[in-house]
Structure 1
Amino acid sequence: MRRSFRPAIAAGFLVASLAASAQPVADVIDIPYTRFTLPNGLTVVVNEDHKAPVVAVSVWYHVGSADEPTGKTGFAHLFEHLMFSGSEHRKGTYFEPFERVGATDMNGTTWFDRTNYFQTVPTTALDMALWMESDRMGHLLGAIGQEELDTQRGVVQNEKRQGENRPYGRVYENILLNAFPANHPYQHSTIGSMEDLEAASLDDVKQWFRDYYGATNTTLVLAGDITPDVAREKALKFFGDIPAGPPVPRQQAWAAPRTTSTRGTQQDHVAQTRIYRTWNMPTLSDADAPLLELAGSVLGGGKTSRLYQRLVYQDKLVDDVSAGAQAFNLAGLFMLTADVKNGVEPAKVEAVIAEEWAKFLAEGPTADELERAKTGITSGFVRGLEKVGGFGGKATILAEGQVYRGDPAAYKTDLARIEAATLASVKAAANRWLAKGDYTLTVVPAKPDADLAAEDKAVKGLPAAEGKPAPVAPAKAEYRTVASDLDRTQGLPKVTAFPDLSFPKVQRGKLKNGIEVVLAERHTIPVTQIQLQFDAGYAADQGRKLGTASFTAAMLDEGTQTLDSIEVAKRKERLGARIGGGAGLDSSSIGLNALNGQLKPSLELFADVVRNPAFREADVDRIRAQWLAGIAQEKTQPNSLAMRSLPPLLYGAGHAYGIPFTGSGTEEAIRSLTPADLAAFHRDFYRPDNARIIVAGDTSLEAIIPELDRVFGDWQAPSGAIPKKNIATVKAQAKPRVFLIDRKDSPQSLIMAGLLAPSTRAPEYLEVQTANGAFGGTFTSRLNMNLREDKRWAYGASSMIQDAIGQRPLMMYASVQTDKTAESAAEVLKEVRQIAGDKPLTQAEIDKIKEQRVRALPGAYEATSAVLTALVGNQLYGRPDDYVATLKQKLEGLDDAKVQATAKALYRADALTWVIVGDLSKIEQPVRDLKLGEVKVIDADGKVLR
């Protein structure tokens, strides 16, 4: 379960299509809802949306880390984990029955002011989901014992280690200590301290449940294929007999603005210095919050922003800079970050920031800046409304408004405030909050003898301050439970039927020049998504400079023959369009996500970017500097370090896939890249005879073909042939190998073990996917249940198989606590040997994965982007147009014996290649003692050191 940040504004609205409307934006954009309160005080919010046979179930408890007393930091988040450990009427992990019914978008998160739990389930599984949520809400205490507490304590402590093991992963805790006074609810981080987590007792966590998990402190949101009447009936049935719980005094807003500037320095295992600067700001319900979000967009919201223009383009002092507002329930933070170029004095960067800051405070934004900021902040709202659940769907928007502001439609207030913002009002808000009292934290690369843990403990933070408002008790009210005829001793409601997937029919057409167009209509929101797919990708780097494919894709929207980089960015912002290129192993692509009201000009800009990239030397040099800084950062991150190192070891030097799977290439190659190299790659691969156009969204073949013909129909191929890629077949390793990479002071080790699997195009593709799902591809898989739930050595353990036209990489990975590195590797090896040996996959395990995959189909393709991704995969891997529509039949028809045989052939312990990243002074000898295979120590570039 993860913690999450709250966007300052709930994602925006569709400006372009509303331009002709005389109505206020907040009146046009609407999420219909019904709200009612059960007799026990539980608030229920219902959004009826029958576009897909799924319902999002979102349960929000109005309690978070801000409610934790001194000495009990991390309790809210620890308890969130305990809620997944089983309840009185159903023991075992919470995820298992949801996997069986095909739940999607399932998780739980904790933040300052709330703890929420959510899942999207097939409509027919709604009773099961409500039974599960209500059982842990009303019947948990008897299921929590010392074993459950110890297990989840260990998991959370490893989550904390995993976060701190990332570069800059200790920053937020430092900032909170210095942004808020000691008596402010936000001064400590949600994850808490190791000491407080270790001290948590069974009585402590049970009291937490009694204090905060009553019905009156809870909001249930149901969004999707349900009516308000049905929702009322089911809510009363499953939740009506749960007690109201004690009244919870509400903490009051306290921005605690500072009047003096303060500073701090932090060492970390990072590749470059980063400057953080924060100001306290008001709550999300304050009228100034959206104005500060607009100010953040103008100052540091992207490449057209003032700071980016000055520091990146003009003075070339930083590789990246951003600024933005984070508004919470009791206060907020306005944060600036700048990645200082190596060799540049941070003081020089700070001086320029101060200069631009003063200019903005004195003059405010320009009219053009403000309009682009409004569009940029708000143009995603309609896009976000397509999903009913998850981290940012309609259920989240409604729940957030209800829990924090007592109004599910609070987003309308934010939209109205954005629309009404003026040059003067944005300037005034900035001067109220951003003119004084900042905290500057400079994070620098750690010295060899640095003691980071001791440094963190030495940070005392701000002392307590006056002015903290007293909590306010809720108004007295009478609540009562309603007896239910539900017999929980009978167990979970049976789910015997499941809705069928409704996948749009795939249609095909051609442009005048022969480019094939593949379309799936999805008329849910007025947006059209288009992707041009080219047969290229990382594999096309073979014989070229590594990173060329990705670098070329990144450069496409950095300027055309007639538009410079900034003008391209400004036009995207004004249109509310999203245009961007990228590369994978086997293909390069560039996509357009366009508002239908601005489709014509968006397509014109898109075609110009695709067909006429300029690759100007100044732009190449700017992106090159950022790219090199990115590679240096990759070499400080355990995950990306392993992803750079393992593929060359699996495939061998010279293989098209034997390259860093980050796609970023090597420093040597990127330094030598020229505009001519990029132009040659574009000429060779970005051509109409190597392209498909894939479309999904609110359009039709009759409507979109003429528009595409208008901008692409006259595009002619060059005379040369398309280069051929050589993706050779690689033999399995004759014996296992181990490669160690030293990362001093790491609180965790990253274990990654790799094998080669058959191509995505192979006939046994579904058998491979099913076997991997049971081994490490789901929460209840063997690998995760072993290292996380049983041993408590990791926050999570997984295995993944990346799609590829050639042999696919199968990668098993886990970040584990340092003192359990060797033991964890031994467990991974044991699991590999067992699945291929004396403990083959059982019929129950295979059935579980088949059922999960089949029943998740309706939820998996709820969003247009998922439909587009499916079409893209079909084209790349040679699948028929009805592949998704017939997937249920294919999965249900899998032969268990063939899945078992595939697993035995796939998981070969004798062919494993291990990459382990950690503090070698602590882990090297224990790993060598395991005798996993020949052990070598390599550096971040894969060079053997010993």
Structure 2
Amino acid sequence: MKNVIAAVTAALLGVLALVPAHGKPSASEFPDVRIPYERHVLPNGLTLLIHEDHKAPIVAVNVWYHVGSKDERPGRTGFAHLFEHLMFNGSEHHNDEFFRPLEPAGATKMNGTTWYDRTNYFQNVPTSALDLTLWLESDRMGHLLGAIDQNKLDEQREVVLNEKRQGENEPYGKVDEVIAAATYPAGHPYSWTTIGSYEDLKAATLDDVKEWFREHYGAANAVLVIAGDVNPAAVKAKVEHYFGDIPPGPVRKRHGRWIAKMSGEKRATLQDRVPQARLFKVWNVPGFCETDANMLGIAAAVLGSGKNSRLYERLVYRDQLATDVDVGVGPFEIGSQFMIDAMVKPGGDIAAVERAIDEELQRFLREGPTAAELARVRTKVFASALRGLERIDGFGGKSAILAQYQVYCGTPDRYTEELREVREATPQQVRDVARRWLSDGVFVLQVEPFPEYTVASTGADRSRLPPLGEPPSLSLPPLQRATLSNGLKLVLVERHAAPIVQLSLIADAGYAADAGIKAGTARLTLDMLDEGAGRYDALALAARSEELGALISAGSTLDTSFVRLNALKARLEPSLDLFADVLLRPRFDARELERLRQQQLAAIQQEKAQPYGIASRLYPQLIYGAGHAYANPRSGTGTEDSVAAITVDDLRAFYQRWLRPDNATLLIVGDTTLEEIRPLLERRLGAWKAPDVPLPQKNLAEVALPRQPRIVLVNRTGAEQSLILAAHLAPPKSDPDDLAMQLVNTALGGNFVSRLNMNLREDKRWSYGAFTVISGAKAQRPFIAYAPVQTDKTVESLREMRTELATVRDGRPLTADEIAFARNSLVRSLPGENETAAEIAESYTTVLVHELPDDYWNTFVDRVEGLSPAAINAAARRLVHPDALTWIVVGDLARIEQPIRELGWGEVMVLDADGKRLR
């Protein structure tokens, strides 16, 4: 399976099983598992797929239109994506933002995307909001043109242009455009990128975009998937009611197979402001539904998926020529692309990286994969698919899988054939397909008779939106507690929806524990835990994890460090053995430290090459001050000097000081019971003892807010946008007013239709998005407002942001409608945010870390609905302090510095990306 194998992602079900390390798997070892569905084609041509999943009171509504950028023509590029934006701006009977009724209805995991072959719109909603969602989706499918006017076109054109500028302003932001133009002949529908060109977008007229809708957005060109807590017969009746009177649209002409296989070698060099050299090797190969593309997905996984893949082992581990390498198949409809993407280590030799890639590729083309490598790929597919059983959403969940295969291949069941092909694949078959397509033609950088349709004579009431039903209440499983003999606290949440068990060892450490030592130590220490433990070196540990289908990870956040295991229930005990090795017996090999050190240094350089990365490295020290536990760069990467100086002894000292049973809680979520899991953990962790030294403490002292604002400028010569970030300290997550402050943040900048985003994006069209954030912290936490804006509107954007922040507390308090919207957005989204075991674990981690009541989430709705407008607006005055803000602006100072100084807001400093003052 291309989508699963190439990236080992996506929630596909199918022919799945664990297989022996050698030999061809049998059908009994590899049983069929399918996504059950009903398929109906309405008289107007609309294809409806229905899948039942009753584990949570939510429904995924997923609409795929068989139209993308390949249906454009030269001189009219970017129309598919531009129209996707217009589809969110209101329809004839709901001439308002599409998100506005959905967010307070509790919608989650919603978006729209455009790609070469399709455009999709999707959202998860509570069951009570299904009629509302179907009304909205059907209204924009059948009743859009009357709502599109010149003002909306101009507005969304500027939003898309800012999106294009923002993407191209990032490192490697122009790579896709270069590859598309170099790998396909002029006029090929994949020879331009989906976002289109500046010239074509600016030239688009109102008549152009309306004609695009008439040509492509009929019911017969769409697939609608409804997945979740539904009754199929009732769903079919609802869909016929809301969609049955929509015209089918015109006869479509579809592109046929056009691989455009290249010959010989083509090369190009692109210069850009990037911290590391990067190598792309690209071949044009068969399209999404072809068996050869499936086999190439296996080849890609063997070559470059995971630490034990050939290229990763060679380039990153053995030769240490690169900090990362990835191999995958870009699965497009009429022809795909096989790509090798290697990130050269800073200062490394790009020619040496290419030689090593060519050597490994030629060896693969001679010998093919081993049986063990094929087995590892199958296990990855199995484990990934099991984890996808919980998901119905449009971000790769079951609704997306059904829609994708129906649109691309004409049947939702094609994925089962792909899995059969994977099951039966032999090393020789994979080798022969790879030889056929990868031996030549590389770029280095990098159309069915029209059925007779009828239209229903009646349809839905378009005079008003359907009312929302009562929101389903959230009821998370209760916390069960126990203690091991060594004092380690256990907290269990039973979740039997899928045969998965997840463990999270949560230690009170995190990036805050770097204070007083070498910054970056916490991140590097935890990253080292799964780079060799017990009798396993790094590669052997990764191989053993893959054999078990287990996911083991370690890392840190601001306040906590964690070690996590996501295990298949059938292999829980050996997976726990591996988890215990990682937690209790890390090897801290010097060779692995040097490799991870280079990766962390590269991550720092990447942050310093990105506008938001620069700002996020600077603001903690500016608002907390030197010596505070939260003062280091927000990512926890540290500085180049501090990371360069970290030794193995430093890592061991951090591990011994902070990862101890008296400073940790083990959270277990999944298919187990306390009676089952406790003895298993006692045998493996019971001998883990705390050291005799007292528990370490962090400097989390309260910091006073500054008396006046200040501005920090960071130069980025030639930048096409300015990144504005404003920050000051806010009360901690545990503050009694936290829920009220969450409501304030949601209305002010936490949602698409919040004040700040509607101002800068929708009204002014100066930014692709503007938002506010209050994250969680045990002590005072940052309150942040940020927006990437057009360079020529930097000062104007600063004024607008300050005005919005000031008026929410003093001039324009939140209205009853805004409060209701924010409240509904928070409470109605809870079921959709707690669908999977991992999401429930995340929710309860918040409870444990911030010492909140066990019933925090189950009483959340009542507590939020009990807040009065007066209490919420009072919380706004506690949360927002415009005169205490530290403003950071990253942009082209030659164009913006003097106008910013003329604002007269307070002290203006110019810093470099490391925080050193320049003037």
Q: TM-score range by the shorter chain?
A: over 0.9
Please state how far the C-alpha of 1:714 moved relative to its aligned partner. 2.0
Once residues 681 and 407 of structure 2 are traced to their aligned partners in structure 1, the CA distance between those partners, rounded to angstroms, is 46
Match of 1:726 in 2: 699
CA contact (8 A) 2:708 2:883 kept: yes
CA separation of 1:496 and 1:353: change in aligned 2, threshold 3 A: closer
The 8 Å contact of residues 243 and 459 in structure 2, kept in 1 or not, is answered as no
1:525 maps to 2:498: yes
Which of 99, 104, 112 is residue 108 of structure 2 equivalent to?
104
Indicate if the aligned counterparts of 1:25 and 1:416 stay in contact, CA closer than 8 A.
no
Corresponding residue number in structure 2 for 1:315 = 319
Match of 1:331 among 323, 330, 335: 335
**Please, which of 601, 606, 615 is the counterpart of residue 588 of structure 2?**
615
The equivalent position to 1:197 in structure 2, one of 195, 201, 204, is 201
Q: Structure 1 counterpart of 2:223, which letter?
A: T
What is residue 939 of structure 1 aligned with on the other side?
A: 912
* TM-score (norm. length: structure 2): 0.97
Q: 1:900 maps to what in 2?
A: 873
* 2:760 corresponding residue in structure 1: 787
Match of 1:420 among 388, 413, 424: 424
- State the match for 1:139 in structure 2: 143
Please state how far the C-alpha of 1:511 moved relative to its aligned partner.
Answer: 2.0
Instruction: Name the counterpart of 2:182.
Output: 178
Amino acid at match of 1:228: P
Out of 216, 224, 232, which is 1:228 matched to? 232
| Candidates 448, 451, 460, aligned match of 1:477 | 451
Distance 1:895 1:161 in 2: 42
Q: Distance in 2 between matches of 1:40 and 1:31?
A: 26
- Secondary structure of 1:795's counterpart equals coil
Is 1:486 matched up with 2:465? no
Larger deviation, residues 276-285 vs 10-19: 10-19
Name the counterpart of 1:572: 545
Out of 221, 226, 243, which is 1:239 matched to?
A: 243
Q: Secondary structure at the match of 1:429?
A: helix
Distance 1:485 1:381 in 2: 39
Task: Write the letter of the residue equivalent to 1:269.
Answer: R
Counterpart residue type for residue 112 of structure 2: G
Alignment counterpart, residue 811 of structure 2, candidates 802, 827, 838: 838
Specify the alignment match of 1:459 in structure 2.
Answer: none
Question: Aligned pair 1:38/2:12, yes or no?
Answer: no
Task: Judge which range, 781-790 or 522-531, deviates more.
Answer: 522-531
CA distance in 2, matches of 1:25, 1:85: 51
Alignment equivalent of 2:254, drawn from 250, 257, 264: 250
The DSSP-based 3-state class of the residue aligned with 2:224 is: strand
Query: C-alpha distance in 2, partners of 1:286/1:718?
Result: 59
The residue number in structure 1 matching 2:605 is 632
Q: Which residue of 2 aligns with 1:825?
A: 798
Correspondence for 2:834? 861
User: Aligned partners of 1:104, 1:900: CA distance in 2, in Å?
Assistant: 26
Cα deviations across residues 569-626 of structure 1 (Å, max 9, x unaligned)? 1111111111111111111001111111111111111110111111111110111111
1:169 is aligned to: 173
Q: CA deviation at 1:390?
A: 3.0
d(CA) in 2 for partners of 1:684, 1:15 = 47
Instruction: Report the alpha carbon displacement of residue 272 of structure 1 after superposing the two structures with TM.
Output: 1.4
2:356 match: 352
Q: 1:408-432 CA distances to partner (integer Å, 9 max, x unpaired)?
A: 1222112111111111111111111
2:276·2:345 contact (CA, 8 Å) conserved in 1?
Answer: yes
CA shift at 1:15, angstroms? Answer: 9.0
Residues 138-170 of structure 1, C-alpha deviation per residue, up to 9 Å, x if partnerless? 111110000000010010000001111111111
Q: CA RMSD in A?
A: 1.7
Matched residue SS, 2:104: helix
Report the CA distance shift for 1:55/1:133 in structure 2 as closer, same or farther (over 3 A).
Answer: same
How far has the Cα of 1:16 moved from its partner?
8.6
> How far is the alpha carbon of 1:751 from its aligned partner?
0.6
1:690 aligns with 2:663: yes
Q: Which moved more, 1:902-911 or 1:124-133?
A: 902-911
- Aligned-pair CA distance for 1:850: 1.1
Cα distance in structure 2, aligned partners of 1:540 and 1:32: 49
**Match 1:644 to one of 617, 633, 642:** 617
- Which amino acid is 1:479 matched to? Y
AA matched with 1:95 = F
1:234 and 1:427 mapped to 2: Cα distance? 50
The residue identity in structure 1 corresponding to 2:236 is R
Question: Residue 341 of structure 1: CA displacement?
Answer: 2.5
AA partner of residue 322 (structure 2): V
Partner deviation per Cα, 1:899-936 (whole Å, 9 max, x = no partner):
10111232111101011111111111222222232211
CA distance, structure 1, for counterparts of residue 13 and residue 104 of structure 2: 36
Q: Distance in 2 between matches of 1:6 and 1:860?
A: 28
Q: 1:417 to 1:352 in 2, by over 3 A?
A: same
SS at match of 2:435: helix
Cα distance per residue 1:503-528 (max 9 Å; x no partner): 11221122232211111111111111
My pick for the range that moved more, 530-539 or 379-388, is 379-388
2:401 aligned residue (387, 397, 403): 397
User: Aligned partners of 1:766 and 1:842: how far apart in 2?
Assistant: 17
> 1:786 & 1:741 partners in 2: Cα distance?
25
**How much does 1:18 deviate?**
5.2
**In structure 1, C-alpha distance between the alignment counterparts of 2:408 and 2:667, rounded to whole Å:** 41
How far the C-alpha of 1:367 sits from its partner, in A, is 1.7
Given the alignment, which residue of 353, 364, 367 partners 1:363? 367
Return the alpha-carbon distance in structure 1 between the equivalents of residues 915 and 752 of structure 2: 32
Following superposition, the deviation at residue 871 of structure 1 comes to 1.2
Shift of 1:378: 4.1
Once the two structures are superposed, residues 155-193 of structure 1 have per-residue CA deviations (whole angstroms, 9 ceiling, x without a partner) of: 000000111111111111111111111121111100101
1:916 alignment partner, SS class: strand
Deviations 1:834-892 (A, max 9, x none): 11211111122112111221111221111111100011111100012111111111111
Which residue number corresponds to residue 69 of structure 1? 73
Classify the secondary structure of the residue corresponding to 2:213.
Answer: helix
The equivalent residue for 1:410 is 414
**SS of structure 1 residue aligned to 2:269:** strand
Contact 1:760 1:805 in 2 (8 A): yes
Question: How far apart are 1:356 and its partner, in Å?
Answer: 1.3
Measured after TM superposition, the shift of residue 737 of structure 1 is: 0.6
Paired residue secondary structure (1:755): strand
CA contact (8 A) 1:82 1:152 kept: yes
Preserved contact between residue 16 and residue 575 of structure 1 (Cα < 8 Å): no
Aligned match for 1:598, one of 568, 571, 591: 571
| Corresponding residue for residue 126 of structure 1 | 130
Q: Say which SS state the counterpart of residue 644 (structure 1) adopts.
A: helix
State percent identity of aligned pairs: 51
Pair 1:293-2:267 in alignment? no
Aligned-residue offset at 1:27: 4.9
Alignment gaps of 5+ in structure 1: 443-471
Partner Cα separation in structure 2 for residue 17 and residue 303 of structure 1:
22
Aligned-partner SS, 2:268? strand
Looking at structure 2, the residues matched to 54 and 535 of structure 1 have their Cα atoms a distance apart, in angstroms, of 35
Runs of at least 5 residues in structure 2 that lack an aligned partner in the other structure = none
| Contact residue 284 and residue 328 of structure 1 kept, 8 A | yes
* 2:638 maps to which of 651, 665, 670: 665
Structure 1: distance between partners of 2:189 and 2:388: 31
Shift of 1:19: 5.5
CA distance in structure 2 between the aligned counterparts of 1:236 and 1:14, rounded to whole angstroms: 30
Per mean C-alpha deviation after superposition, the further-off stretch among 20-29 and 764-773 is 20-29
Partners of 1:390 and 1:704 in 2: CA distance: 34
**Is 1:701 aligned to residue 695 of structure 2?**
no
- Partners of 2:892 and 2:909 lie apart in 1 by 15
Figure out how many residues of one structure are paired with residues of the other and give that number: 911
* 1:740–1:915 CA contact under 8 A, matched in 2: yes
